[in-house]
Amino acid sequence: EGAADAPVTADAMFAKATELAADDEALLGLIEDAKAETGRGRIGGAVEWLSRLPSGQTDVWEIPYYGNSYAEVAIVGDGDANLDVAVTDENGNVICYDVSWSDKLYCDWTPAWDGYFYVTVQNMGGSRNSYYLMTN
């Protein structure tokens, strides 16, 4: 109770796509191609982490991304409190921020170089929020 639902994993989506493709060789080939895609977004591959952030507190995540590749961060909370997110580079430059009245947040950008980016999540609400941070 009070926890965000776990997002569907890529493995689960590929398994369902393979099941639905049945014997369609063209679709099965496309699914295999998609599974083989690497070298985008987070160095080390996509991840999802769960955090339980108390009211008024801040999490800071240090995440490595590939340069010249599309990068994404999504925050999906349990709905109990407003969350804000900011992404900065290793020099402190603000890359992206989302300060909407929500706990469903998204930032995307294309890093100019391989490096660490800092994702700061703040709980602006009056109660704890369990959220997932997800990367591509």
pTM of the model: 0.73
The answer to whether 105 and 74 have CB atoms below 8 angstroms apart is yes
Q: What is the pLDDT of residues 102-134, one digit of tens each?
A: 999 999 999 999 999 999 999 999 999 999 999
Token code pair at residue 120: 């700061």
CA distance 96 to 86: 6
Numbers of helices and strands, H then E, in the chain: 2, 8
The answer to whether 134 and 42 have CB atoms below 8 angstroms apart is no
Q: What is the pLDDT of residues 10-35, one digit of tens each?
A: 788 888 889 998 998 988 888 887 77
The answer to whether 52 and 58 have CB atoms below 8 angstroms apart is no
DSSP category for residue 42: B
Residue 48 dihedral angles phi and psi, to the nearest 5°: -140, 135
Short-list 49, 55, 40, CA closest to 7 = 49
Length of the chain in residues, anyone? 136
Place of tokens 């769960």: 50
Report the DSSP pairing between strands 83-89 and 94-98.
antiparallel
Q: What is the pLDDT of residues 43-83, one digit of tens each?
A: 988 999 999 999 999 999 999 999 999 999 999 999 999 99
Domain ranges of the chain: 1-136
CATH architecture label of 1-136: Sandwich (2.60)
